[in-house]
């Protein structure tokens, strides 16, 4: 029988005569007398039928709970929210997406803290679920394991959600009929799971595994699979072992584990959102990670995965050849990963990878180190007179390394999208989408609709897009986001005018408007901050509390 030292939190809630009322309440939800002597493990489920990413997570939560109880502890399942990026994309609802990361982290922290759970499993599917779960794990610093809900299977003709967004642009360009667009819409999303390329969900699941917070290969499993159910059950068992060993996130996370996560993200050609989310998780862990660490690490790590959106393959196709573990072993053997970092298995990363087999001969998804897609990182931190505090570009090599063009400025995403679809935006333009930052949006909306429309109109090589908002992991093309200071704070992006000459140099890591400092200062004297989007509710609170994107857009910065 587990002793009291394995119940440091739940014992404070249920032990002793004075806690009779608490036990009475728990009897009503299914506790037997013997359960009060067991560690209590929360199962934080993000189940919802509002998005394919999360519609199956209740079954994974059930598997995790069974794993907990098979290991001798008591499981208690609770829910937190999710919102769908794919559904809200391009609408006012997208303002709530990044906000949901904070709500998820806050709500898991609230429930686990209030109920006195001795450990927990957190299960996430859609993009913000994962960093939200990880932030809660780090804040609470109790034995815990993250479970990724898993990737979706490909649709008809290997379609996915980005196929639909780009089809809208092709339709606007007259290259796709109404019937063809409808067919793509109806067949791209075949069932449960997160969007199928190396978009934000699969990127963050992989990064969290590299951090050591999930079990080996949890990030590379299809949502509807025996492997994913087994992973969930194993996570439940693992948390009980972590409680017995008193192994917590603070024992696992370090600057070296974050370097591992960044390295894997680069090798996989992952989403720019990883910059934002890893900064936020590190902030919660009180580990001094900065955007400049992405540059430092990126100089020595190549891009090896030929994954969508810039490449050819889906996560399901990566799973077929062995998932991310063989890639991690390759990186470890090349000295690019820290093998001594501890993980939730209780073993080090190197020990977890010891018996992993290499990829099969002839596979095309992951390149060898001797033949990378790009010799250094695709995640490029740019500074300059347009982004003195930094910005994030996704330069895969397909777009080129330089772009010069003239500014075409828009207040908000909707105006930019309309101009792209109606042909106003032409070759040589730099589309400027501003007042979409964490405070100005508020919520730092993703720009998948505009970037997909640019791609659908075959302008991805001829038009750049810059914003103080951010991009979906599905975005491709010459795109630069996270520009700080943001427009709402009077950053230089707010001062741009139509026709300004803008230069983007990925090699020099600079983004500049080709006017002198005196002209920028003159424009600042006449600039006026626009009214806030709202002065009530969660968006107003978020806008008041949120930090700069270059600091992770966190809401608890001291």
Q: Which domain CATH number covers 123? A: 3.40.50.2300
**Does some domain include residue 305?**
no
276, 383: one domain = no
**Total domains present in the chain:** 2
Q: Are 225 and 217 in contact (CB under 8 A)?
A: no
Q: Which of 260, 285, 310 is the last residue of a domain?
A: 285
Q: Are residues 276 and 416 in the same domain?
A: no
Grouping H, G, I as helix, E, B as strand and the rest as coil, residue 113 is helix
User: What's the mean pLDDT in 351-370?
Assistant: 97
pLDDT, mean of residues 13-21? 97
User: How far, in Å, CA of 228 to CA of 376, rounded?
Assistant: 33
The answer to whether residue 359 sits within a structural domain is no
Judge whether residue 558 has pLDDT over 80. no
Is the predicted pLDDT of residue 2 greater than 60, yes or no?
no
Residue 159, pLDDT > 50, answer yes
Domain CATH code at residue 533:
3.50.30.80
The arithmetic mean of pLDDT across residues 462-490, rounded, is 91
395/475 Cα distance (integer angstroms): 11
Q: Which residue has the higher pLDDT, 455 or 333?
A: 333
Pair (117, 233) in one structural domain: yes
Per-residue pLDDT, 455: 85
Does residue 241 share a domain with residue 102? Answer: yes
| Whether residue 81 is found in the same domain as residue 216 | yes
Of 194-198, 248-252, 383-387, the poorest mean pLDDT is in 194-198
Give the residues across from 40 on adjacent strands.
74
Task: Give the residue with greater pLDDT, 162 vs 104.
Answer: 104
**How many contiguous H segments (helices) and E segments (strands) does the chain have?**
21, 12
Residue 330 in any domain: the answer is no
> Coil, helix or strand for 548?
coil
Residue 136 resides in a domain = yes
Q: Where is pLDDT greater, at 454 or 348?
A: 348
User: Are 540 and 422 found together in one domain?
Assistant: yes
- Give percent of the chain with pLDDT exceeding 90: 87
Determine the average pLDDT of the residues in 503-508: 94
Q: pTM value?
A: 0.95
Quick one: average pLDDT of 468-472?
91
Mean pLDDT value of segment 217-228: 97
CA distance to 200, 275, 359, 392, per residue, from 471 (Å) = 10, 11, 31, 10
Owning domain of residue 383: 379-551
Please compute the mean of the pLDDT values over residues 398-418 and round it to a whole number.
91
Burial pattern 320-358, b for ≥16 Cβ within 10 A else e, equals ebbbbbbbbbbbbeeebbbbebbbbbbebbbebbeebee
pLDDT band at 336 (very low <50, low <70, confident <90, very high): very high
pLDDT of residue 347: 98
Mean pLDDT of 151-162: 89
245, 251, 255, 317: which is closest to 288 by C-alpha?
255
Q: Contact 94/88 with Cβ under 8 angstroms? A: yes
**Per-residue 3-state assignment (H helix, E strand, C coil) for 447-504:** CHHHHHHHHHCCCCCCCEEEECCECCCCCCCEEEEEEECCHHHCCHHHHCCCCCEEEE
Q: Catalytic residue among 107, 472, 475, 548, which? A: 472
Tokens of 511: 């983004």
Confidence at residue 413, expressed as pLDDT on a 0 to 100 scale: 94
Can you give the C-alpha Rg of the chain in angstroms?
A: 23
> What is the per-residue burial (b if ≥16 Cβ within 10 Å, else e) of 264-301?
bbbbbbbbbbbbbbbbbbbbbbebebebebbbebbeeb
Question: Do residues 96 and 213 share a domain?
Answer: yes
Percent of the chain with pLDDT over 70: 99
Do 71 and 2 form a contact (C-beta atoms < 8 A)? no
543 within some domain? yes
- Quick check: is 340 in a domain? no
Residue 267: enclosing H or E segment and its boundaries? helix 255-267
pLDDT digits (tens, 9 = 90+) for 107-137: 999 999 999 999 999 999 999 999 999 999 9
What is the mean predicted confidence (pLDDT) over 340-344?
98
Rounded to whole angstroms, the Cα distance separating 209 from 218 reads: 7
User: Is it the case that residue 477 has pLDDT exceeding 80?
Assistant: no
Q: Is residue 64 part of a domain?
A: yes
pLDDT in tens, 242-278: 999 999 999 999 999 999 999 999 999 999 999 999 9
Query: What distance in Å separates the CA atoms of residue 298 and residue 67, rounded to the nearest whole number?
Result: 39
Residues 499 and 387 in one domain: yes
DSSP class per residue in 139-155 = HHTSSEEEEE--BPPP-
Q: What is the mean pLDDT of residues 434-447?
A: 96
405/280 same-domain check? no
Say what the pLDDT of residue 398 is. 66
* 419 and 279 fall within a common domain: no
> What local confidence, expressed as pLDDT, does residue 157 receive?
87
Nearest CA to 152 out of 221, 89, 204 is that of 221
pLDDT at 1 over 60: no
Predicted pLDDT of residue 193: 95
pLDDT of residue 447: 86
Instruction: Say if residue 181 is exposed, middle or buried (CB neighbours under 10 Å; 0-12, 13-18, 19+).
Output: middle
Two structure tokens written together for 133? 């779960």
Which of 253, 285, 317 represents a domain boundary (last residue)?
A: 285
Average pLDDT along the chain? 95
Residues 280 and 384 in one domain: no
Same structural domain for residues 280 and 419?
A: no
Q: Is position 290 annotated as part of the catalytic site?
A: no
- The answer to whether residue 252 sits within a structural domain is no
Asked if pLDDT for residue 173 goes beyond 90, the answer is no
């Amino acid at each position: 029988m587990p002793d009291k030292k394995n119940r440091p939190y739940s014992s404070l809630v249920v032990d002793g005569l004075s806690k009779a009322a608490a036990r009475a309440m728990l009897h009503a939800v299914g506790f037997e007398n013997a359960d009060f002597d067991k560690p209590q493990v929360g199962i934080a489920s993000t189940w919802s039928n509002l998005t394919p990413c999360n519609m199956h997570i209740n079954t994974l939560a059930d598997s995790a709970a069974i794993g907990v109880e098979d290991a001798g502890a008591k499981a208690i399942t609770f829910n937190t929210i999710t919102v769908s990026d794919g559904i809200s994309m391009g609408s006012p609802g997208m303002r709530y997406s990044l906000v949901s990361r904070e709500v998820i982290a806050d709500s898991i922290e609230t429930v686990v803290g209030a109920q006195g759970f001795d450990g927990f499993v957190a299960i996430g599917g859609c993009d913000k679920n994962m960093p939200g779960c990880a932030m809660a794990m780090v804040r609470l610093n109790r034995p815990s394991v993250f479970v990724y809900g898993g990737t979706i299977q490909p649709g008809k003709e290997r379609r996915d959600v980005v196929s639909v967004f780009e089809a809208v642009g092709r339709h606007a360009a007259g290259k796709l009929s109404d019937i063809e667009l409808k067919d793509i819409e109806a067949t791209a999303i075949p069932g449960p799971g997160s969007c199928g390329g190396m978009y934000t969900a699969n990127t963050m699941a992989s990064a969290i595994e590299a951090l050591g917070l999930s079990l080996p290969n949890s990030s590379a499993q299809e949502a509807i699979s025996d492997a994913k159910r087994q992973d969930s059950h194993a996570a439940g068992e693992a948390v009980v072992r972590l409680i017995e060993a008193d192994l917590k996130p603070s024992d696992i996370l370090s600057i070296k584990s974050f370097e591992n996560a960044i390295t894997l993200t680069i090798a996989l050609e992952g989403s720019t959102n990883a910059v934002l989310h890893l900064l936020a998780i590190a902030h919660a862990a009180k580990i001094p990670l900065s955007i400049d660490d992405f540059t430092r690490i990126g100089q020595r790590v190549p891009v090896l995965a030929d994954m969508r959106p810039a490449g050819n393959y889906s996560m399901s196709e990566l799973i077929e050849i062995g998932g991310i573990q063989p890639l991690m072993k390759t990186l470890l053997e090349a000295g690019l990963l820290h093998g001594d970092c501890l993980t939730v298995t209780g073993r080090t990363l190197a020990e977890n990878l010891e018996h992993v087999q290499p990829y099969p001969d002839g596979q095309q998804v992951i390149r060898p180190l001797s033949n990378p897609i790009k010799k250094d990182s695709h995640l490029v931190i740019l500074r300059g007179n347009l982004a003195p505090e930094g910005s994030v570009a996704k330069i895969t090599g397909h777009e080129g390394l330089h772009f010069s063009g003239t500014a075409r400025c828009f207040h908000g995403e909707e105006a930019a999208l309309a101009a792209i679809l109606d042909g106003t935006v032409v070759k040589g333009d730099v589309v400027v989408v501003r007042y979409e930052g964490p405070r100005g949006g508020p919520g730092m909306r993703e720009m998948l609709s505009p970037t997909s429309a640019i791609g659908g109109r075959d302008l991805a090589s001829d038009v750049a897009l810059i914003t103080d908002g951010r991009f979906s992991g599905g975005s491709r093309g010459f795109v630069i986001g996270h520009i700080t200071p943001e427009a709402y704070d009077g950053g230089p992006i707010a001062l741009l005018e139509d026709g300004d000459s803008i230069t983007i140099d990925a090699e020099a890591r600079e983004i500049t408007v080709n006017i002198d400092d005196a002209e920028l200062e003159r424009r600042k004297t006449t600039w006026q901050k626009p009214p806030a989007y709202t002065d009530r509710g969660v968006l107003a609170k978020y806008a008041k509390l949120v930090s700069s994107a270059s600091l992770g857009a966190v809401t608890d910065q001291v």
